[in-house]
């Protein structure tokens, strides 16, 4: 069991958890993720690590409510616990002095872009960050991103905050302004990463994106997270999650992510109906596990 | 105790006349629709009758042929004597997982393969007897009576809780070493849990065997990926382990490299089985992990090993309309356990041998619709000694499919090799270890099981774990390398 030390919504439907996980906290590097399982009957899902504190032994994750598991997770409060958390998984971001780097975060992807932006800044890069969200209240980590960026640009789809438009529109203007960009790092929804890749391809700007396909074990064992890179299968969990955006077959990524849509929808509908009884079950499991641990098992 | 004189009431000459006692099993049509165990075990009476068939050879081949050296003759004699708990203790001297090996060992390749009875009639049902004894022990034992060895003051880390790791852990803890087992997944048992389905090896059996090891004093920690969460060097330098055994298993699934492998509906056997076994997808929606709904549709597995059969028999239980095994050699070359092939056929699985897939076909929307195959014939023997399958020109044909499961083997997972400086590997990136001592190129680090040999069987991995435990104990007591 992994204790939740803090849990707070940082935007509607987006929650930050501070979890006690000393082993993971010691090793985590920007770009890596954890796989967690909320309760005994739960599925395993990959979740981005926002940052960690090795001294306190804590790891921060930022979770957006999408389907059953994330809604259930976001129902947990400080003082409760998560059944299993394993990591840090995946390769760390490549951090070196590239020159000028544009770091792009779309929606909750900003939480994953943040530690890499910080590390790139620390390595002496000029960091231009572009953060986008659907509307004002969904812009997250603005202060944190500002701290690690030479320039922070914000867009909202509906124009309720900062500039109206998509992050790609903003990136295009940065490119058109003649700024020499050495690297683009984009983390967000697949359509956003794909649009970024399409834009930078023409300008021959090296572009890295972080993929989040369906995963189970996260150690390379199952092959469920395979993505087509230059026509060859690679595993997002061990070969990624970051890949050269210009080599990814996005069609296959989209298609494979839709594989369980019917089941996902059914699970979510069931969850909405049975939310209270499921939460009671999760709490009972937590208490039973606490009692076991108390008994020295 | 070991009987000095045979208590077997059946005269030697009569023993061959007693037929091998059948183990009760669920009827094929019933079991093909549930995930409960196929074999139901021996009642005491059948176990004793089967045990009485043992010829009590002066030089029992069965013991030599067992990778962990179980003293078959003596434990069988104890069954004949009716002392089942003593029989269990006798097995446990050499095998800490008897309820598991009694169920999944390919006995025909080991103990039963050389059985003298088998030359004339059917070999002694050693696997069945082992299973009977282990289950009897489980029902009748009092764990509080398990004795713990005097502490040696040495600490050993075991990487992976599969068959080799559990075996090494069990042997080492009995020598008084403090043993910590690290497991990457959330559940203990490795391939026993994620790979082998409930109908062949119930999870409860694994849990009981692990609880037994806990009672022996073994410590377990789940959710630790060695090479990621903590490295081998850190285990030795920062966590104070005196020796390490690496038993991480085979690792990465091998794909075929043919067109269409990325289509929805094409699985690796590892993923297919992990969803069903570890994640309980067969109990969806009581468990959250989903599986594609292929009820009434065609499913094929590609490969002829135990993993392939586990996958296709699982598919059948999930309601597959037609369930095929596509295997490129002939049935004689099939590496699966004989009993599994027999069970699978009884359940209605269709075996298409000398059949080699060359392309997965799409429905045009990203989903699998079928597989194009070549008919093969057997040519000259290849490096494995088996006759090489050769395609017959112009023999292409298609099979409509909704799901295809690729079970053609695995390759080495590099997580530990790439994070452990000085750990020698072979050309295929498996860890190099001495075949008798299981020592690696790194002082104090031992390895065994699939991560050394490539995909093999539970019992061969256990044999490696046993050899490693012996040599780790020698290293810890002598200090010499």
Q: pTM for this structure?
A: 0.94
Tell the residue number behind the tokens 């940052």, with chain if given: A51
**The predicted structure's pLDDT at residue B383:** 86
**The predicted structure's pLDDT at residue B4:** 52
> How far apart are the C-alpha atoms of A80 and A76, rounded to whole Å?
6
Cβ distance B163 to B139 under 8 Å?
Answer: no
Q: How many CB atoms lie within 10 A of CB A13?
A: 15
Cβ distance B423 to B27 under 8 Å?
Answer: no
Q: Tell me, yes or no, if A262 comes closer than 8 A to chain B by beta carbon.
A: yes
Mean pLDDT of A31-52: 95
Nearest to B262 among A69, A88, A252 (CB): A252
> How far apart are the C-alpha atoms of B446 and B323, rounded to whole Å?
41
Nearest CA in chain A to B190: A221
Nearest CA in chain B to A265: B290
Cβ distance A186 to A193 under 8 Å?
Answer: yes
- Here the tokens at position B214 are 């806990």
Is the omega angle on the peptide bond into residue A241 within 30 degrees of 0, that is, cis?
yes
> How far apart are the C-alpha atoms of B276 and B284, rounded to whole Å?
9
Any residues with CB less than 8 A from the CB of B448 and at least 6 apart, and which? Answer: B164, B168, B245, B246, B247, B433, B438, B461, B464, B465, B467, B468
- SS3 string, B179-213, reads EEEECCCCCCCCHHHHCCCCCCCCHHHHHHHHHHH
Cβ distance B172 to B155 under 8 Å?
Answer: no
The residue of B215, B228, B264 whose CB has the most chain A CBs within 10 angstroms, and thus the best one to mutate to test that interface, is: B228
Distance from the first to the final alpha carbon of chain A: 12
What is the edge-to-edge ordering of all strands in the sheet holding B243-246? B219-221, B178-182, B155-159, B243-246, B445-447
Instruction: Give the gap in angstroms from C-alpha B287 to the nearest C-alpha of chain A.
Output: 5
DSSP result, B154-179 = -EEEEE--SHHHHHHHHHHHTTT-EE
Q: Tell if the CB–CB gap between B230 and A37 is shorter than 8 Å.
A: no
- pLDDT tens digits, residue range A192-230? 999 999 999 999 999 999 999 999 999 999 999 999 999
Nearest to A222 among B222, B230, B253 (CB): B253
- Here the tokens at position A207 are 């572009």
> How far apart are the C-alpha atoms of B450 and B452, rounded to whole Å?
5
Q: Tell if the CB–CB gap between A263 and B284 is shorter than 8 Å.
A: yes
- Here the tokens at position B174 are 């009995």
Beta-bridge partner residues of A9? A15
Would you give per-residue pLDDT tens digits along chain B (481 residues)?
Answer: 444 567 899 999 899 999 999 999 999 999 999 999 999 999 999 999 999 999 999 999 999 999 999 999 999 999 999 999 999 999 999 999 999 999 999 999 999 999 999 999 999 999 999 999 999 999 998 888 888 899 999 999 999 999 999 999 999 999 999 999 999 999 999 999 999 999 999 999 999 999 999 999 999 999 999 999 999 999 999 999 999 999 999 889 999 999 999 999 999 999 999 999 999 999 998 999 999 999 999 999 999 999 999 999 999 999 999 999 999 999 999 999 888 999 999 999 999 999 999 999 999 999 999 999 999 999 998 888 888 999 999 999 999 999 999 999 999 999 999 999 999 999 999 999 999 999 999 999 999 999 999 989 999 999 999 999 999 999 999 988 8
Q: Tell me, yes or no, if A23 comes closer than 8 A to chain B by beta carbon.
A: yes
- From the list A241, A283, A281, A237, the residue with the least C-alpha distance to A86 is A237
- From the list B243, B251, B295, B206, the residue with the least C-alpha distance to B409 is B251
Strands A126-133 and A100-106, sheet pairing = parallel
Cβ distance B127 to B51 under 8 Å?
Answer: no
Q: Tell if the CB–CB gap between B229 and A23 is shorter than 8 Å.
A: yes
ipTM > 0.90? yes
């Amino acid at each position: 069991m992994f204790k939740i030390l803090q849990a707070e919504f940082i935007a509607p439907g987006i929650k930050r958890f501070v979890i006690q996980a000393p082993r993971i906290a010691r090793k985590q590097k920007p770009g890596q993720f954890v796989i967690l399982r909320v309760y005994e009957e739960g599925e395993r899902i990959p979740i981005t690590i926002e940052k960690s504190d090795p001294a306190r032994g804590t790891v921060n994750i930022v979770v957006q409510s999408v389907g059953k598991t994330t809604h259930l997770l976001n129902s947990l409060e400080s003082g409760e616990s998560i059944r299993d958390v394993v990591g840090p998984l995946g390769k760390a971001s490549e951090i070196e002095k590239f020159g000028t780097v544009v770091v792009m975060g779309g929606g909750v992807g900003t939480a994953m872009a943040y530690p890499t932006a910080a590390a790139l800044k620390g390595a002496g890069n000029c960091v231009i960050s572009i953060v986008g969200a659907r509307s004002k209240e969904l812009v997250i980590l603005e202060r944190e991103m500002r701290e690690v960026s030479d320039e922070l640009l914000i867009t909202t789809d509906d124009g309720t905050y900062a500039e109206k438009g998509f992050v790609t529109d903003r990136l295009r203007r940065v490119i058109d302004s003649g700024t020499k960009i050495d690297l683009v790092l984009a983390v967000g929804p697949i359509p956003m990463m794909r649009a970024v890749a399409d834009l930078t391809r023409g300008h021959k700007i090296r572009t890295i994106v972080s993929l989040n396909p369906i995963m189970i074990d996260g150690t390379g064992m199952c092959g469920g997270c395979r993505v087509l890179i230059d026509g060859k299968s690679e595993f997002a969990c061990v070969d990624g999650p970051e890949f050269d955006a210009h080599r990814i077959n996005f069609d296959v990524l989209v298609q494979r992510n839709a594989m369980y849509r019917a089941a996902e929808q059914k699970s979510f509908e069931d969850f909405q109906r049975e939310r209270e009884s499921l939460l009671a079950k999760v709490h009972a499991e937590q208490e039973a596990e606490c009692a076991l641990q108390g008994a020295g098992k | 105790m070991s009987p000095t004189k045979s208590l077997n009431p059946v005269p030697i000459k009569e023993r061959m006349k007693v037929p091998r006692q059948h183990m009760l099993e669920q009827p094929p049509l019933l079991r093909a629709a549930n995930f409960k165990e196929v074999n139901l075990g021996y009642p005491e009476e059948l176990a004793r009758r089967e045990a009485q068939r043992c010829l009590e050879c002066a030089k029992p081949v069965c013991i030599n042929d067992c990778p962990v050296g179980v003293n078959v003759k003596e434990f069988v004699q104890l069954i004949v004597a009716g002392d089942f708990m003593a029989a269990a203790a006798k097995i446990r001297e050499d095998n800490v997982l008897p309820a598991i090996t009694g169920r999944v060992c390919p006995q025909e390749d080991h103990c039963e393969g050389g059985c003298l009875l088998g030359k004339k009639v059917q070999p002694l049902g050693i696997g069945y007897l082992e299973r009977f004894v282990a289950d009897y022990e489980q029902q009748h034992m009092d764990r509080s009576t398990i004795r713990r060895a005097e502490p040696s003051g040495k600490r050993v880390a075991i990487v992976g809780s599969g068959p080799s790791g559990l075996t090494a852990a069990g042997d080492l803890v009995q020598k008084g070493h403090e043993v910590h087992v690290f497991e990457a997944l959330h559940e203990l048992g490795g391939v026993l849990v994620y790979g082998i389905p409930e109908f062949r090896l119930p999870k409860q059996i694994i849990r009981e065997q692990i609880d037994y090891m806990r009672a022996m004093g073994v410590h377990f920690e789940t959710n630790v990926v060695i090479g990621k969460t903590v490295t081998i060097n850190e285990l030795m330098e920062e966590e104070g382990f005196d020796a390490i055994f690496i038993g991480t298993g085979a690792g990465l699934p091998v794909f075929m490299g043919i067109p269409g492998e990325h289509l929805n509906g094409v699985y690796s056997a590892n993923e297919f089985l992990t969803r069903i076994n570890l994640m309980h997808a067969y109990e969806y929606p009581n468990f959250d992990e989903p599986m594609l709904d292929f009820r009434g549709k065609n499913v094929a597995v590609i490969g002829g090993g135990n993993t392939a059969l586990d996958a296709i028999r699982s598919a059948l239980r999930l309601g597959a309309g037609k369930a095929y095994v596509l295997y490129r050699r002939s049935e004689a070359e099939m590496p699966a356990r004989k009993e599994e092939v027999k069970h699978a056929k009884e359940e209605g699985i269709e075996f298409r041998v000398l059949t080699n897939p060359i392309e997965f076909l799409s429905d045009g929307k990203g989903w699998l619709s079928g597989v194009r195959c070549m008919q093969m014939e057997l040519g000259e023997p290849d490096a494995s000694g088996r006759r090489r399958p050769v395609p017959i020109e112009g023999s292409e044909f298609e099979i409509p499919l909704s799901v295809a499961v690729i079970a053609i083997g695995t390759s080495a997972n590099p997580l530990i090799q790439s994070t452990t400086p000085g750990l020698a590997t072979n050309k295929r990136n498996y860890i190099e270890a001495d075949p008798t001592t299981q020592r690696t190129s790194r002082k104090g680090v031992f390895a065994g099981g699939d991560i050394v040999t490539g995909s093999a069987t539970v019992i061969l991995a256990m044999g490696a774990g046993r050899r490693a435990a012996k040599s780790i104990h020698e290293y810890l007591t002598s200090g010499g390398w």
